[in-house]
Amino acid sequence: MKHLPFSLIIFTLFISPLEHISAQDWAELKHFEKANQSVGAAKPNEQRIILMGNSITIGWLQIHPEFFKGKPYINRGISGQTTPQMLLRFRSDVVALQPTIVVILAGTNDIAGNTGPTTLERIMDNIRSMTEIAQANNIKVILCSVLPAFDYPWKPGMKPHIKIPALNAKIAAYAREKEVYYLDYFTALEDGNKGMKTAYASDGVHPTLEGYKVMESLLEKAIATLTTNKKE
């Protein structure tokens, strides 16, 4: 039997199993584990809709919970997440819940470098993969533009005012190619200088109540289009 190095023994003693598991849950698969179990199977003709995203998505539920009441909307946003993290949890937080539609709003945290350096093409690869998984499971997809941001308060100098419009052009082109609904939040929220209007985002990134209200009208139009089988 091999003897462990003394340093490894000490390291193991001071890290509980729970802390070890948490450190390995990079995509936060456990974040919605209990909530997903409580959702249960979709009812016939339920038209369940899942919003997949980051802090902008979960912030919607926190700032304007009334919008979600009485509707078959399930919010699966996790603050700070990037597209590779969303892709890893896509089956458990989207496919397993049997939605009719998934609304994917993602990419700004990738540009901010939250999980390390990346490229617009790699972001698109993850968005493509989520779309393909959804379509393979008969889930309709709404691909959202990334919201405008001139700069990130927590990480200045990443040039989102240049990268976000470029990423949105790629998302829109992919949506056209795959005949997927493209939901253009950017145009409605932009201030004319590739940033967000101050009335819509006090920090330049995360929507205010007024910003979410603009998004709500656009989202409901998109959902109505898909659920009535109309084409844009």
Instruction: Indicate whether 210 pLDDT > 70.
Output: yes
Q: Considering the domain boundaries, does residue 20 fall inside one?
A: no
Sort residue 87 into left (φ over 0), alpha (ψ -120 to 50) or beta: alpha
Q: Between 209 and 6, whose confidence is greater?
A: 209
Q: Given this model, what pLDDT does residue 120 score?
A: 98
Quick: pLDDT tens for 91-102.
Answer: 999 999 999 999
Instruction: Indicate whether 9 pLDDT > 70.
Output: no
Which amino acid is it at 119? T
Q: Which helix (H) or strand (E) holds 74?
A: strand 73-77
Q: Considering the domain boundaries, does residue 115 fall inside one?
A: yes
Confidence grade of residue 229 (pLDDT, cut at 50, 70, 90): low
- What mean pLDDT is reported for the chain? 90
Q: Considering the domain boundaries, does residue 51 fall inside one?
A: yes
Q: Given this model, what pLDDT does residue 12 score?
A: 37
Q: Considering the domain boundaries, does residue 1 fall inside one?
A: no
Q: Given this model, what pLDDT does residue 232 score?
A: 43
Kindly report whether the global pTM for this prediction surpasses the value 0.75: yes
Quick: pLDDT tens for 145-174.
Answer: 999 999 999 999 999 999 999 999 999 999
Instruction: Indicate whether 21 pLDDT > 50.
Output: no
Q: Show the tokens assigned to 186.
A: 């950017």
Confidence grade of residue 225 (pLDDT, cut at 50, 70, 90): very high
SS3 142: strand
Quick: pLDDT tens for 55-88.
Answer: 999 999 999 999 999 999 999 999 999 999 999 9
Closest CA to 131 of 81, 165, 82, 182: 182
Q: Given this model, what pLDDT does residue 218 score?
A: 98
- State the CATH number of the domain containing residue 71: 3.40.50.1110
For residue 138, the tally of other CB atoms under 10 A from its CB is 9
Q: How far apart are CA 87 and CA 72, in angstroms?
A: 22
Domain hosting 62: range is 46-227
Closest CA to 182 of 221, 134, 228: 221
Number of domains in the chain: 1
Closest CA to 56 of 220, 184, 208: 208
Q: Considering the domain boundaries, does residue 15 fall inside one?
A: no
Q: Considering the domain boundaries, does residue 131 fall inside one?
A: yes
Q: Given this model, what pLDDT does residue 6 score?
A: 38
Please answer whether residues 107 and 114 qualify as being in contact, where contact means their C-beta atoms are separated by less than 8 angstroms.
no
Confidence grade of residue 44 (pLDDT, cut at 50, 70, 90): confident
DSSP code of residue 66: G
Q: Considering the domain boundaries, does residue 16 fall inside one?
A: no
